[in-house]
């Protein structure tokens, strides 16, 4: 019985798939969490939350397809969407923590970004969760790029 060792190419594809799967998991949990908060808990999202959803929801679909096809070439599209979403989430977090004054706050009409309903389990602000999710996806895409180029 002969034992064959995995080639470097198959090992690299396996690592790339793990990064894609991890990024998809983050995007899926974020998407389902946003839908749960909006549809089940009935909390209407503010303008900035809507814009962040615009960039997170497609990531769940793109990364699912990339995982299914083991397609690491999706990283430019995912990174672009995640980078814009990250900028929005960073701005939203700055507003939430009061670093940016209320006078230039774009979500003045509608739900407040500073209410107690913007906390998950009463401790973690939702804008910060969004920032962490986009950051995780970007870090995973950087790891994917590094793995593909090595």
Checking if the pLDDT of 13 tops 70, the result is no
Cα–Cα dist 122/118, whole Å: 8
Portion of the chain with pLDDT greater than 70, in percent: 77
Highest mean pLDDT among 15-19, 96-100, 133-137: 133-137
Residue 131, judged by CB atoms within 10 A of its CB (0-12, 13-18, 19+), counts as buried
Checking if the pLDDT of 137 tops 90, the result is yes
Contact 141, 23 (CB under 8 A): yes
Report strand pairing: 119-120 vs 124-125: antiparallel
Give tens-digit pLDDT for 25-67.
Answer: 999 999 999 898 888 878 777 888 888 999 999 999 999 999 9
At 124, give phi and psi (nearest 5°). -105, 120
């Amino acid at each position: 019985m002969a034992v064959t060792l995995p080639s470097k190419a198959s090992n690299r594809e396996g690592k790339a798939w793990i990064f894609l799967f991890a990024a998809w998991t983050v995007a899926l949990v974020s998407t389902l969490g946003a839908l749960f908060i909006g549809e089940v808990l009935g909390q209407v999202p503010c303008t900035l939350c809507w814009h962040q959803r615009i960039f997170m929801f497609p990531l769940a679909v793109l990364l699912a397809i990339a995982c299914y096809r083991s397609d690491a070439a999706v990283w430019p599209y995912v990174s672009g969407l995640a980078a814009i979403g990250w900028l929005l989430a960073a701005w939203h977090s700055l507003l939430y923590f009061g670093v940016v004054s209320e006078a230039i706050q774009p979500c003045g009409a509608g739900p407040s970004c500073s209410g107690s309903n913007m906390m998950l389990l009463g401790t973690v602000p939702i804008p910060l969760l969004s920032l962490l999710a986009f950051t995780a996806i970007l870090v995973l895409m950087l790891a994917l790029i590094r793995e593909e180029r090595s």
